[in-house]
Amino acid sequence: MRPRNVLYIVMGLLLLVLVILNWSVITQSTELKLIFVTVQAPLGVLIVLIAGAVLAVDFAVYSLNRLAWARERRELAAQIEQQRMRADQAEESRIRGLRESLERETSVIRAQLDQLMAAVRKERPG
């Protein structure tokens, strides 16, 4: 289990214990002064609204981070694949160049060997 999930579970359980221990205070009706309005409501409603807002913001930020991470991961994977293809093409080009060079050298050596063999045959009567 991820440490972040463990932290959420521990915080949720702690909050639940605090709510249960203070239930009588939370359900008492209180005068709540919101910026432009005064409302008579239980303090628990305000706590639940604030906790919900914090949870929603945290979830949104976490989701956006996961999406950004996934997009960056796809982009990096595509870049890695492009670099791998470039490296393969460069390697194939080097191998092709070495093969051509080796064939040229081999043909030069073969031509020289043929000349040598012809010269040896001329010198030996036979």
Residue 44 structure tokens: 């628990």
- What is the Cα–Cα distance from 11 to 17, expressed in whole angstroms? 10
pLDDT tens string 10-37: 988 998 898 888 888 878 888 878 788 8
pTM for the full predicted model: 0.52
pLDDT in tens, 35-75: 888 888 887 777 778 888 998 898 899 899 999 999 999 99
Residue boundaries of the structural domains of the chain: 3-123
Torsion sign across C-alpha atoms 73, 74, 78, 84: positive
- Our CA angle for 44, 21, 29, nearest 5°, is 30
